[in-house]
């Protein structure tokens, strides 16, 4: 990484190729010219209207005072760790003076881990398992809807015996119709959805899906009902404990789920460099995330 990006000029050049893969386009609505030159301050100046533009403007690197080489090192470290990294781990590796800085950087990167135009799961002939699970600390005496743990909705592709891509989101309440809204948001029409035997899921057939409801009471091993989903849920809980040590607030849980989804869906990637590229590519398409917004940000939308 240091050989590829020895200084900020190399980082700026790389980001410019990610932001303008087909060449520079002036951001001025009245211009949109494609000819520009680099100024001595690292800006791109439009030859037509004279507007100076920074490649980092409007991205998560907007107005950063930290050298881009440090940002690149952070992205490299985050994608290099297959199981993820905590803010404390990032602080130690990069030598940040405060935990708050590392925490903010991690949350900026998490907001870049999900593309708004990402493909839907499934499709004709593809099975998707759909259900909810509960994550959080230890709750004694309560199970299912009676627990005070956070409810997480999961959709998991099954391609034969192999698990494909996943999607995850926080539910406002367990066992609500929000699970059907979640299905419409993440699963392509025409997919075959496997669920448990809840009556609520019968509505899926009217929503353009084929549906199989498996009654868990008829089996002695509950994990046999939705084996792919149970596996993903187990791995998610293990990740939250092992990497983040339960250090997650309810308000930010959705963004941690985004990180888990980003990592899980790329678990078979043989190139860490490709993950580095993908995360930077999405970072230049993600709006600025000031610290005050990260701290007081509204949680990701829940499905009611």
Residue closest to 169 by CA, chosen among 190, 153, 191: 153
Per-residue model confidence as pLDDT tens digits over 17-30 = 999 999 898 988 89
Per-residue model confidence as pLDDT tens digits over 41-100 = 778 999 999 999 999 999 999 988 899 999 999 999 999 887 888 889 999 999 998 999
Whole-number Å distance between alpha carbons of 296 and 251: 9
Whole-number Å distance between alpha carbons of 55 and 59: 8
pLDDT of residue 230 exceeding 70, the answer is yes
Three-state helix/strand/coil letters over 61-123:
CCCCCCCHHHHHHHHHHHHHCCCCCCHHHHHHHHCCCCHHHHHHHHHHHHCCCCCCCCCCECC
pLDDT of residue 299 exceeding 70, the answer is no
Q: What is the CATH number of domain 127-242?
A: 3.30.420
Whole-number Å distance between alpha carbons of 128 and 156: 5
pTM here is 0.86
Per-residue model confidence as pLDDT tens digits over 236-251 = 999 888 776 655 677 8
Residue closest to 204 by CA, chosen among 217, 190, 223: 190
Whole-number Å distance between alpha carbons of 131 and 198: 10
Q: What is the pLDDT of residue 304?
A: 47
Give the residue with greater pLDDT, 268 vs 242.
268
pLDDT, the chain, mean = 86
Burial class of residue 164 in the structure, from the number of CB atoms within 10 Å of its CB (0-12 exposed, 13-18 middle, 19+ buried): middle
**Quick one: average pLDDT of 134-141?**
64
Q: List where CATH 3.30.420 sits in the chain.
A: 127-242
pLDDT of residue 141 exceeding 50, the answer is no
Q: What is the pLDDT of residue 155?
A: 97
Q: How many CB atoms lie within 10 A of CB 60?
A: 22
């Amino acid at each position: 990484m240091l050989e590829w990006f020895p200084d900020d000029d190399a980082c700026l050049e790389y980001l410019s190729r990610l932001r303008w893969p087909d060449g520079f386009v002036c951001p001025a609505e009245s211009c949109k010219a494609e000819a520009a030159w680099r100024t001595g301050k690292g800006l791109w100046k439009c030859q037509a209207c004279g507007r100076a533009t920074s490649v980092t403007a409007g991205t998560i690197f907007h107005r950063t005072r930290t050298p881009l080489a440090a940002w690149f090192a952070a992205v490299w470290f985050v994608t290099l760790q297959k199981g993820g990294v905590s803010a404390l781990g990032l602080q130690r590796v990069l030598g940040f003076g405060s935990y708050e800085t590392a925490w903010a950087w991690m949350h900026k990167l998490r907001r870049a881990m999900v593309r708004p135009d990402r493909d839907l799961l499934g499709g004709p002939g593809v099975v998707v398992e759909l259900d909810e699970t509960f994550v959080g600390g230890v709750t004694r005496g309560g199970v299912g809807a009676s627990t005070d743990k956070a409810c997480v909705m999961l959709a998991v592709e099954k391609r034969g015996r192999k698990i494909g891509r996943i999607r995850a989101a926080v539910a406002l309440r367990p066992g609500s119709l929000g699970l059907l809204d979640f299905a419409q948001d993440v699963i392509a029409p025409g997919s075959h959805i496997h669920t448990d035997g809840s009556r609520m899921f019968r509505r899926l057939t009217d929503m353009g899906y084929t549906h199989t409801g498996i009654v868990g009471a008829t089996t002695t091993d509950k994990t046999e009902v939705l084996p792919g989903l149970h596996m993903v849920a187990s791995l998610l809980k293990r990740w939250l404990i092992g990497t983040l040590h339960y250090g997650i607030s309810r308000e930010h849980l959705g963004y941690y789920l985004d990180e888990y989804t980003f990592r899980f869906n790329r678990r078979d990637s043989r190139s860490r460099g490709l993950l580095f590229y993908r995360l930077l590519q999405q970072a230049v398409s993600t709006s600025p995330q000031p610290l005050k917004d990260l701290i007081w940000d509204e949680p990701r939308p829940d499905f009611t």
